[in-house]
């Protein structure tokens, strides 16, 4: 009886509250406030079924949409002049160049050309500004040429600058994610062996090392090899026959502007002559087997799983994501290029954080050149904060991402494995011409590594580099040292400017139009 009464009241209420007349038609597009405009997940639903007008080609005919395939694109590039790998408008990036080339080659439909997200663009490894890659992978959906993947690769490469190459394209399953399914990555770092020479006698760091050794004897290693180098250097300075007045001018010369630099030609000439003595002596330096062994021992400390919170930015010791695993590290025998001796360091790890490799290289080389115990690196894995400067980006390149685990699954799905070995010959030729050659030449012209280590040696702030002396890690080690970044960035910007000027000259030769395709590029 109670149920019957409830139903009667409900019917009466509906009759009173319902509007008279027929129910209004549902609008084609509902507002954001209409609860019907959202799905159960909360996402908005567009009820507008008006067909989109087709895009037209140059002849005014509708552009037909072609089927897309999920693929892995294997690429290599020289990062000079680019603000890293990842899209970062309005800056010039590797992904930006690649996406434009995909569109121009017809691998991406004009319907999707306005937004890379529509194609699901993802990169396996993000590289920083100025960093190179012999091999990297991007995964996305592409329109494959009817002639096959090789024809698509050829069409894309025609649209790319010589310093960016597509090695190959492999079809994958729809769920493939080149970043998440990458099991590990291999990086290479090229460093001149003169980076292992001890700080210049008389520099602030050299004085600190001597002072702390007196207070804490028996901790740092003696370095007769470096002592002999600096004795030879002093002899070369004497043989240059600088007068006492000239040496004073050199010591006091600190131009505050470009105008002052250009106006004082005689002093500039003297300073260059003086600095060239050190540059040339370092280029003639050849590392001993003993010192190379120290560098190898230092790099070997990184093997295995460690807390790398001190080797990146913004990570706390207790942050689980600071833990990383290094699988293999090798330091090559030295080799000579244009009179300068170099070493190649290869690091194979599961994953890396921002600036991690550059800080690993810097710490190992600083331990080698200052004579502090190799165990100091192990102490950097502990909770104490140590601000390790990062080595120049110039020497760093991504060798390749590795898909050892996922390749078996790709094979099970009937797809080819993702391997760079089939492109090894092309990649090696590319590295020699567009990566190694640029690294060597830039070091000779800009003295990047010399400037970096000289800055460290002369950084006259008490306690900042105590961790490189017999004193060890102190509270002062947590002070930020960001000037080396500015120093290396200045070199990057100068190189970018030169690259852009060269491109501008080529455009002028072809076309006098001020609105050339290079006019819209933003170089920062």
The whole-angstrom separation of Cα 438 and Cα 395 is 10
305: phi then psi, degrees, rounded to nearest 5: -95, 125
Task: Convert the pLDDT of each residue in 159-168 to its tens digit.
Answer: 999 999 999 9
Residue pair 47/32 in contact (Cβ under 8 Å)? The answer is: no
**Beta-carbon count within 10 A of 7 CB:** 10
* Domains of the chain and CATH, by start: 69-183 (3.30.70.580), 192-239+285-343+350-387+447-508 (3.30.70)
Does residue 189 have a known ligand-binding role?
A: no
Residue pair 83/93 in contact (Cβ under 8 Å)? The answer is: yes
**Beta-carbon count within 10 A of 358 CB:** 25
Closest CA to 101 of 73, 61, 67: 73
Task: Convert the pLDDT of each residue in 245-283 to its tens digit.
Answer: 988 888 887 766 655 556 677 888 899 999 999 999 999
pLDDT, average across residues 132-138: 97
In sign, the C-alpha dihedral spanning 13, 14, 19, 20 is negative
Residue pair 194/284 in contact (Cβ under 8 Å)? The answer is: no
- Is 177 known to be catalytic? no
107: phi then psi, degrees, rounded to nearest 5: -80, -15
Tokens 């000579």 belong to residue: 336
Task: Convert the pLDDT of each residue in 217-227 to its tens digit.
Answer: 999 999 999 99
Quick one: what percent of the chain has pLDDT higher than 90?
Answer: 63
pLDDT surpassing 80 at residue 432: yes
Selecting among 128, 264, 437, 489, the annotated active-site residue is 128
| Maximum pairwise Cα distance, the chain | 119
Lowest mean pLDDT among 204-208, 351-355, 477-481: 477-481
pTM for the predicted model, two decimal places = 0.79
Closest CA to 523 of 485, 487, 486, 497: 497
The whole-angstrom separation of Cα 143 and Cα 19 is 54
User: Is residue 144 reached through a cis peptide bond, with omega within 30 degrees of 0 on the bond before it?
Assistant: no
């Amino acid at each position: 009886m109670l149920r019957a009464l409830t139903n009667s009241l409900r019917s009466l209420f509906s009759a009173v509250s319902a509007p008279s007349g027929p129910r209004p038609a549902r609008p084609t597009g509902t507002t954001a406030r209409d609860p019907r405009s959202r799905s159960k997940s909360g996402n908005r639903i567009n009820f507008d079924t008006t067909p989109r007008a087709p895009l037209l080609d140059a002849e005014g005919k509708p552009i037909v949409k072609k089927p897309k395939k999920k693929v892995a694109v294997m690429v290599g590039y020289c990062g000079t002049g680019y603000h890293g790998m990842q899209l970062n408008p309005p800056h010039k990036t590797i992904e930006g160049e690649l996406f434009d080339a995909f569109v121009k080659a017809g691998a991406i439909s004009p319907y999707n050309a306005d937004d890379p997200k529509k194609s699901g663009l993802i990169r396996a490894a993000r590289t920083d500004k100025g960093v190179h890659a012999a091999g990297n992978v991007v995964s996305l959906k592409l329109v494959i040429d009817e002639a096959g993947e090789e024809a698509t690769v050829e069409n894309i490469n025609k649209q790319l600058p010589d310093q960016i190459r597509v090695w190959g394209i492999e079809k994958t399953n729809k769920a493939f994610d080149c970043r998440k399914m990458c099991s590990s990555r291999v990086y290479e770092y090229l460093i001149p062996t003169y980076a292992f020479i001890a700080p210049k006698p008389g520099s602030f760091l050299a004085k600190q090392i001597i002072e702390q050794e007196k207070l804490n004897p028996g901790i740092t290693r003696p370095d007769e090899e470096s002592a002999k180098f600096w004795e030879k250097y002093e002899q070369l300075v004497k043989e240059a026959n600088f007068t006492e007045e000239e040496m004073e001018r050199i010591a006091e010369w600190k131009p505050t502007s470009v105008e002052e630099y250009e106006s004082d030609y005689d002093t500039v000439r003297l300073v260059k002559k003086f600095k060239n003595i050190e540059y040339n002596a370092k280029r003639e330096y050849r590392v001993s087997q003993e010192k190379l062994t120290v560098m190898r021992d230092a790099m070997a400390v990184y093997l295995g799983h460690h807390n790398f919170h001190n080797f990146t930015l913004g990570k706390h010791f207790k942050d689980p994501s600071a833990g990383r695993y290094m699988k293999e590290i090798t330091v090559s025998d030295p080799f000579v290029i244009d009179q300068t001796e170099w070493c190649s360091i290869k690091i194979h790890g599961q994953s890396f954080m921002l600036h991690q490799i550059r800080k690993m290289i810097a710490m190992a080389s600083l331990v080698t050149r200052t004579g502090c115990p190799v165990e100091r690196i192990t102490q950097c894995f502990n909770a104490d904060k140590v601000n390790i400067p990062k080595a120049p980006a110039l020497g760093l390149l991504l060798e390749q991402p590795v898909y050892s685990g996922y390749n078996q699954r790709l094979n099970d799905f009937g797809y080819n494995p993702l391997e760079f070995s089939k492109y090894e010959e092309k990649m090696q030729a590319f590295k020699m011409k567009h990566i190694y050659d640029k690294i060597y030449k830039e070091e000779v012209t800009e003295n990047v590594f010399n400037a970096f280590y000289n800055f460290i040696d002369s950084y006259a702030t008490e306690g900042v580099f105590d961790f490189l002396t017999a004193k060890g890690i102190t509270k002062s080690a947590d002070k930020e040292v960001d000037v080396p970044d500015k120093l290396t960035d200045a070199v990057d910007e100068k190189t970018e400017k030169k690259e852009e000027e060269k491109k501008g000259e080529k455009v002028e030769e072809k076309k006098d139009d001020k609105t050339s395709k290079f006019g819209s590029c933003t170089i920062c």
